[in-house]
Structure 1
Amino acid sequence: MGQDITYLCIGLGFAYLSLITDAYSKMIMGYCLHPLLTAEGSAKALDMALSHGEISQELIHHSDRGSQYCSFHYVQKLRQAGINISMTENGDPYENAIAELVNDILKIDFRLNWVCNTFEEAQRTVEASTVTTTTCGLT
């Protein structure tokens, strides 16, 4: 599974969308739109992904070296679930290509790059796009 965070424009500010994508199916397994760029949003996306059921012993969580993914709480959740941890060497987005692809598809094809007036409007837009991609995948 790949994890990344992208930002959405909301009025004059931003919100941060944490996404966890299954590398094989390209389906979004977990997401959280959060008003702050903190580990809390990433942890909520991880909780959603983990709620889907049994975890394979060979599952690998891949991310960049963002502070959210290096936080004690986040790493502990991964270890407790028996998930192997992989991080890019130097934060290069090319080393996390699937996550970057998902960000681009959501922003371009689902128009998440449009400015929403409120956090609630952005939340509805995110939910509509992630329901589609969770059901159909991003092929």
Structure 2
Amino acid sequence: MYAEAKIELNQIDQSVIDAINEVRGRVNMPNVSIQSQSIMREILRRERRVELAFEGLRLLDIRRWKIAEDVMPGVPEVLRYTNGHPDPNGTPIVQIEERYFDPAKDYLWPIPQSEIDISKLEQNPKW
């Protein structure tokens, strides 16, 4: 997070490079050197994606970086098992859902109704 913050502020110095190279060095990846802000951002995002794979953070990163339209194009079909058991013929019972990312809605989380009631906040758009 330190390196990410410094890159976003365009305050790229040796401490940023050292932080990235420390992570890369644990698996004998070659060191990186100081580059432009956009290149450093891509290096960091790729490192984060690889280093934190299967940790459940990717969607949060995509939302924070506001890159969903670029990395989640199209409408994927998702298979969802409805009860976890196959039918009498042994075929799994599934429901096919189409999922998509709506930038006008999905970059924000819904505000809990209890918070809206207490503070008179307005719900985020499309929630």
TM-score bin (small chain): under 0.3
More strand by share: 1
Q: Which has the higher contact order (CA 8 A, sep 6+)?
A: 1
TM-score scaled by structure 2?
0.27
Between Structure 1 and Structure 2, whose CA radius of gyration is higher? 2
In the superposition, the TM-score normalised over structure 1's length comes to 0.25
